[in-house]
């Protein structure tokens, strides 16, 4: 991947600074373009392995450039990794970028560490792209008229789902801090430690573990306790008015780690036990994963979404999936005891 980086921005100082950063991070060459039109020419002739682009440019902005690339216009390689720089992008524009499978966002002003984290993220786990035909059809339909998930035909949660969720949690009160329990060994990899952990003296809890949350398997219960820690840590950061976006990003990384490890373990165990609802359960996982990816990308584009959409996703995952769905398979484990 670290071959040739294309930096697109109509501000000379910004594009030169990011180009220097990219070279210092290992790219063999950094090339620059002053807008989307210039970038398309550079992409065709220079064949970059990564594009870092601003959104607001004339005559072709970053979103339109993303749409053109993904649609395979002008013979462009449609699956090039693309990082979009944001400052004050609207939620609808962010959603459109996600619909066309932007690989990552970076909030301006960009620093070297943040850029390195995004490059490492793409190097370790490149985002799968759909076919040129898929993006071309979306392009023809004018994506500004619908949301990202509607454009992909993958509505994760309906309005009735959200209404039901709100009704379930509206009476939930934060609880008093509780003493931490003894750690239990997991058969999955340990979650990353948070960069900044709230102290026990002033930590606010949204909800505490109860026996009724158990799914009948100690490893899965311990994994779900990690999710509960993530929910409580996010809640604590919000009520204590934490303004360090890096702390929220660390919590998001822990959540992604939980998703990857928990679902892998859970599906393996349920397959082994021949769980009758396995197909329905795995389909639900697919929808949840897509929604999680969508929300985390939104938070990359605008960290204020950590306090709204991200926390909402965490609570939805807990109530609608862990409490209401996961506990249904408890009998497949308890029957063996």
* DSSP symbols for 237-250: HHHTT---HHHHHH
245-272: pLDDT as tens digits: 889 999 999 999 999 999 999 999 999 9
The span from the CA of 84 to the CA of 18, in Å, is 12
The share of the chain scoring above pLDDT 70, in percent, equals 81
* pLDDT attached to residue 152: 34
Q: How many C-alpha atoms does 13 have within 13 Å on its Cβ side?
A: 2
The span from the CA of 248 to the CA of 295, in Å, is 13
SS3 for 53-90, per residue? Answer: EECCCCCCCHHHHHHHHHCCHHHCCCCCCEEEEECCCC
Give backbone dihedrals phi and psi of 299, rounded to 5 degrees, phi first: -65, -35
83-129: pLDDT as tens digits: 999 988 899 999 999 999 999 999 999 999 999 999 998 988 778 89
Average of pLDDT values for 281-299? 95
What is the helix (H) or strand (E) element at residue 8, kind and residue range? strand 4-8
What is the helix (H) or strand (E) element at residue 7, kind and residue range? strand 4-8
pLDDT-derived band at 182, boundaries 50, 70, 90 = very low
The span from the CA of 329 to the CA of 172, in Å, is 25
Name which of 181, 176, 256, 169 is nearest 211 in CA terms: 181
Q: Report which of residues 316 and 241 the model is more confident about.
A: 316
- SS3 label, residue 175: strand
- pLDDT score of 332 more than 60: yes
* pLDDT attached to residue 245: 80
* pLDDT attached to residue 328: 94
* pLDDT attached to residue 172: 44
The string of DSSP codes covering 256-306 is HHHHHHHHHHHHHHHHHTT-TTHHHHHHHHHHHHHHHHHHHHHHHH-GGGG
pLDDT-derived band at 223, boundaries 50, 70, 90 = very high
7-56: pLDDT as tens digits: 999 999 999 999 999 999 999 999 999 999 999 999 999 999 999 999 99
Tally Cβ neighbours within 10 Å of residue 281: 19
* pLDDT attached to residue 241: 77
Q: What is the DSSP letter of 321?
A: I
């Amino acid at each position: 991947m670290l071959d040739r980086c294309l930096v697109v921005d109509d501000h000379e100082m910004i594009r030169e600074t990011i180009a220097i950063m990219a070279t210092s991070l290992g790219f063999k060459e950094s090339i620059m373009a002053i807008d989307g039109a210039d970038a398309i020419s550079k992409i065709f002739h220079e064949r970059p392995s990564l594009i870092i682009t601003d959104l607001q440019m004339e005559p072709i902005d970053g979103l339109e450039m993303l749409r053109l690339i993904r649609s395979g216009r002008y013979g462009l390689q449609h699956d090039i990794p693309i990082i979009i720089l944001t400052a004050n992008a609207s939620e609808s524009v962010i959603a459109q970028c996600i619909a066309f499978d932007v690989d990552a966002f970076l909030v301006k002003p960009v620093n070297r560490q943040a850029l390195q984290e995004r490059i490492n993220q793409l190097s370790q786990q490149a985002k799968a792209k759909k076919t040129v035909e898929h993006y071309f059809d979306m392009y023809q339909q004018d994506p500004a008229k619908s949301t990202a998930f509607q454009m992909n035909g993958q509505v994760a949660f309906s309005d009735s789902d959200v209404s039901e969720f709100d009704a379930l949690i509206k009476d939930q009160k934060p609880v008093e801090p509780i003493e931490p329990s003894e750690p239990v060994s997991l058969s999955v990899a340990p979650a990353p430690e948070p960069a900044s952990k709230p102290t026990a003296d002033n930590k606010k809890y949204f909800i505490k573990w109860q026996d009724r949350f158990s799914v009948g398997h100690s490893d899965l219960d311990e994994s779900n306790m990690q999710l509960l820690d993530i929910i409580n840590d996010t809640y604590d950061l919000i009520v204590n008015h934490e303004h360090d976006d890096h702390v929220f990003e660390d919590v998001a990384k822990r959540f992604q780690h939980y998703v990857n490890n928990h679902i892998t373990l859970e599906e393996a165990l349920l397959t082994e036990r021949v769980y009758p609802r396995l197909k329905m359960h795995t389909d639900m996982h697919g929808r949840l994963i897509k929604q999680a990816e969508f929300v985390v990308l939104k938070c990359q584009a605008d960290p204020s979404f950590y306090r709204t959409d991200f926390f909402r996703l965490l609570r939805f995952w807990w109530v609608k999936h862990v409490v209401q769905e996961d506990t249904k398979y408890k009998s497949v484990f308890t029957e063996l005891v």
